[in-house]
Every structure is written in C-alpha cells, then in structure tokens.
C-alpha cells in the first residue's frame, strides 16, 4: 500500500491510529462501575496541559489499524465499546461505529467535541476544553457533560458549558487528578449549593486499573 493509498483510507475512517485497546471498568461519569472495552485513538491538538495521556497526541506514533480489526477485537470482550483518545473526532468515526452497531453493541464516545460529530453513538460524554470549544451539534446531542476542575475559575467555565447543552444532559464536575485533594472540598461545596451538578471521580485510579 502506498502512502497516498493509506492516507485515503485514514481520511475515510477505514484506518484509524490505534494507540491502545483494553477491557476494564469505566471509572468516570454516568456509567462508572460498568465493564467496557476501551478503544483509544491517537491524535489530538486540543492540548490540555493536565492531560494524562499526552502520548496520544501525535497520531503518527500509532499504527493505522483497519476498523474491521478493531471491531473484531472489541466484540470478543464486551457489548459496550467506549471510544476515547486523544480526540477521536479528529477522524471520521462513521465506519467504525457502523460496524460496531452491525454487531449489536453499545457505542460510547468520550470527546472534547471540538470537531464535527461523526458516527452513531448510544452515549456521548462531552468534556469541553477552553482551548477549542465544542460544536453546537455536540452540545445538542451530549448525554453527559463532564467538566474538569483544575482551579476555581473552572467552575465559571463549567456553568458556561452547562448553559449550552440540551436539557436532558447530565452534569458532572470532576477534579483534575493531581489537584484532587485541593479541589474536591470545593467541588463538594459547589454541588451541594448547586445540586443540578453531580460529582464524578476517576474511580479506576482508586481501583488501580486502566
């Protein structure tokens, strides 16, 4: 396969830069505690300084992998597949989710929403970032909003984002892991004063699992 042919398949979403895939327990948000198969796609230019998977940023470090192979591996383990990144919407998610849905599994995505929403999703976890805000379409379709709290200013940003999502979207505040001891008491107080919000924790890190 030539470089041009490979790039054409990547552009069509038939090849995706696969960083890693693993079966574990969802640690965050609405589906925490649920067994699921994670597919982590490389490539992200949003650039969160506190990102805990910065090795995912450069897509060229991760091998272009056929969506058929990704699907084949995923359905062996779970009927809930969570696509994360990086930023998976950097790529066309249509072919991947079409194949997953054809196998009868649930498709979830974790995204900043900064790029066009592609793919067919049973659950969209929107985690917006200040550097590149989500598209209107993602705001309208998100099932949960997960705002990361790194400092006190992030509460204001969270409220701005909550005002943009649909009325059925579940709202979560989650402490950035390295700041959890400092920010968690503030999050608790904030949620008690503003009970439309819920607390999300990275419980997988407490469980010491991926």
Q: What is the pLDDT of residue 206?
A: 85
Q: What is the pLDDT of residues 111-166, one digit of tens each?
A: 999 999 999 999 999 999 999 999 999 999 999 999 999 999 999 999 999 999 99
81 a known binding residue? no
3 a known binding residue? no
Q: What is the pLDDT of residue 50?
A: 76
86 a known binding residue? yes
Least confident of 10-19, 43-52, 167-176, 192-201: 43-52
CA proximity to 200, closest of 26, 80, 81: 26
Q: What is the pLDDT of residue 41?
A: 97
Q: What is the pLDDT of residues 80-97, one digit of tens each?
A: 999 999 999 999 999 999
175 a known binding residue? no
43 a known binding residue? no
Grouping H, G, I as helix, E, B as strand and the rest as coil, residue 73 is helix
51 a known binding residue? yes
Question: CA–CA separation, 198 vs 187, rounded Å?
Answer: 9
45 a known binding residue? no
Check: CB of residue 146 under 8 Å from CB of residue 109: no
Give the predicted TM-score (pTM) of the model. 0.95
210 a known binding residue? yes
Residue 52 has pLDDT above 80, yes or no: no
CA proximity to 58, closest of 28, 95, 19, 27: 19
């Amino acid at each position: 396969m030539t470089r041009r042919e490979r790039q054409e398949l990547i552009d069509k979403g038939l090849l995706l830069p696969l960083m890693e895939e693993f079966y574990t327990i969802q640690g965050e948000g609405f589906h925490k505690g649920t067994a699921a198969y994670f597919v982590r796609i490389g490539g992200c230019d949003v650039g969160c300084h506190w990102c805990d998977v910065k090795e995912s940023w450069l897509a060229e470090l991760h091998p272009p992998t056929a969506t058929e192979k990704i699907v084949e591996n995923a359905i062996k383990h779970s009927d809930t597949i969570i696509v994360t990144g990086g930023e998976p919407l950097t790529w066309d998610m249509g072919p991947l989710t079409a194949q997953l849905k054809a196998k009868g599994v649930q498709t979830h995505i974790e995204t900043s929403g900064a790029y066009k929403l592609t793919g067919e999703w049973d659950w969209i976890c929107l985690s917006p970032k200040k550097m590149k805000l989500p598209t209107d379409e993602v705001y309208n379709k998100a099932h949960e909003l997960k705002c990361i709290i790194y400092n006190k200013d992030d509460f204001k940003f969270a409220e701005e984002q909550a005002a943009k999502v649909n009325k059925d979207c579940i709202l979560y505040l989650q402490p950035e892991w390295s700041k959890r001891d400092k920010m968690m008491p503030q999050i608790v107080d904030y949620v008690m004063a503003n009970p439309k919000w819920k607390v999300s924790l990275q419980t997988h890190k407490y469980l010491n699992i991926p």
